[in-house]
Amino acid sequence: MITLALIMVLNIFTPSNTIYDYSFKTINGEDKSLADFKGKKILVVNTASKCGFTKQYKDLQKLHEMYGEQLVIIGFPANNFGSQEPGSNEDISTFCEENYGVTFLMAEKVDVKGDKINPLFKFLTTQDNPDFSGDIKWNFEKFLINEDGKLMHRYRSQVSPLDPIITAQL
């Protein structure tokens, strides 16, 4: 007979299979649980303000405006590639608002690779999906999560947020 205590211990040591077990701080310092978005698709993007792909903020904002009812977009600024996100959270927030009119959700700056990798990105980069797994190669990689909190697809930096390969999934 399995006791409640044993079930609780098993749950602690069983790796999560969904994104809903993770949380993050917004760029304004508020705690946010990804479980708040159950029933919606989520697009997680590692971003940077001084990158050749930075113009994708514009397309991410447009995607947010087009699909905001069924899709949550979360930008995670990271300074892991070419030191292309050197600013503070306040600097990043101001940059995004002033240059791209960003109103989609932005997280505080995190590490998306290396020894200090954020637990969410450690989870995402190791999940099975039909595309690829492993380390993030550059800024603006995208992870599309389904309504059940599972990774559906992963896209490299070169794929525009408005590419039909993404929008067809929404």
Structure tokens at 24: 């993050």
What is the spatial distance between Cα 148 and Cα 35, in angstroms, rounded to a whole number?
10
pLDDT at residue 32 greater than cutoff 70: yes
Handedness of CA 74, 79, 81, 85 (dihedral sign): positive
Q: Residues 26-37: what's their mean pLDDT?
A: 97
pLDDT of res. 17: 83
Tens of pLDDT, residue by residue over 59-71, are: 999 999 999 999 9
Q: Where are the alpha helices (DSSP H) in 101-140?
A: 119-125
Residue 129 and residue 137 in contact, taking contact as beta carbons nearer than 8 Å: no
- Could you list the active site residues? 51
- Going from the N-terminus, what domains does the chain have, and what CATH number goes with each? 37-167 (3.40.30.10)
pTM comes to: 0.90
Tens of pLDDT, residue by residue over 117-137, are: 999 999 999 998 899 999 999
Q: Residues 66-87: what's their mean pLDDT?
A: 97
Q: Coil, strand or helix: which one is 26?
A: strand
pLDDT at residue 103 greater than cutoff 50: yes
Structure tokens at 104: 């989609």
Tens of pLDDT, residue by residue over 134-149, are: 999 999 999 999 999 9
pLDDT band at 4 (very low <50, low <70, confident <90, very high): very low
pLDDT at residue 16 greater than cutoff 70: no
pLDDT at residue 6 greater than cutoff 90: no
Closest by alpha carbon to 123, among 145, 106, 139, 107? 145
Q: Residues 138-165: what's their mean pLDDT?
A: 97
What is the spatial distance between Cα 30 and Cα 166, in angstroms, rounded to a whole number?
29
